[in-house]
Structure 1
Amino acid sequence: MSIETLPLFPLHTVLLPGGTVDLRVFEARYLDLVRECGRTGRTFGVCLILDGPESGGVASPAAVGTEARIEDFDLASDGLLMLRLRGARRFRARRMRVRDNGLQIAEIDWCDSDPEEPVRPEHAALVDVVRRLLERAGDPDAGAPGRQFNDAAWIGWRLAERLPLSDATRQSLLQLDDPHARLQRLLSLID
């Protein structure tokens, strides 16, 4: 059995499955990572920084993170590389090592995919909250098929992405494996 590894890009933000994050990339270690991903089609992991800097040093990342796929890229007016990342699968890092250039590589286990389960009646109000949030933002997901609006996991991730939550709260939601437990936690956060 081979050990699966994933390079990490620790950030002071949480990338959620299906969510997006925009990044400005300027450090050599991450420019090398992006080049490698472009050449090989590989992905990398985004983890919330628990301690340490976002640039210029080695940070201590959370053990649960999200696989990031590069969805778009561009050069900013200042010449820096701009990336739009899309969150995919969740993972748990077992062990980490640091390359000579400071890039962290984690041995990982993939978390189980979210089951496709309908939103339970006690969480039905959260579906309306997601619809209103997406409509106000002019988000194309507002017109998503009704099936998505009945998917407990999708509703939970969109709420966790759109609500004004702390990074620590988003991280705790990312670490929950049960989409219904995630919705219950979100319901308790909404007054």
Structure 2
Amino acid sequence: MTTSRATPGRPRDDQVDRRIADAAVELFGQHGWSSFSIEAVARRAGVGKASVYLRWRNKEELLIEALTQRLWRVSDVDTGTVRGDLVELVRQQLELYVGDCGPAALRLGLEAAGNPQLAARHEEMAQAQILAARAMVRRGIRSGELPEDTSVTFLLDALAGGAMNHAMTVPPRLRPLSPEAVADYAERFVDFVLASVLVGG
């Protein structure tokens, strides 16, 4: 099926598509929107500008699609226990922010206010995270694992804020964190937060 960006007689190369998208995310993560250009992305991807314009009409369209492809949404995972669910929530957040695409994910949050298209992408990611997290906490309350008066907002602020703070303070030389380091931090952090929630419960 031909897309609006494809040129007749010039089939798309998925490997080139991936190289360009990866280069766009890396460039944005390192230097931000002010230094983002089709020329810079083409140089980093090792392709000509024509190859980029064959696929995307402008730099806004390129970056938004690249971020959509590379930055996944935090999703609701039902592990059977509220602790397991929240560990998975924190693990997903950390993998997003301290993984290969972490600089771009963090940069998106910082620069969204000045760019409506970036703001829309950031809002989409944030809403997915909020909905997933609320579902997890409410399951825990329904199952009796969390007290009925547990503040969904405060618990999520603690978990999401803690994960974000940890991601922002990891030294660049340690990025991306290993899956083992992410899992270990997620478990220990959730246990620490839940200990305060469950006191007297």
TM-score, scaled relative to structure 1: 0.30
Instruction: Decide which structure has the larger Cα Rg and report it.
Output: 2
The structure where helix makes up a greater share of residues is 2
TM-score, scaled relative to structure 2: 0.29
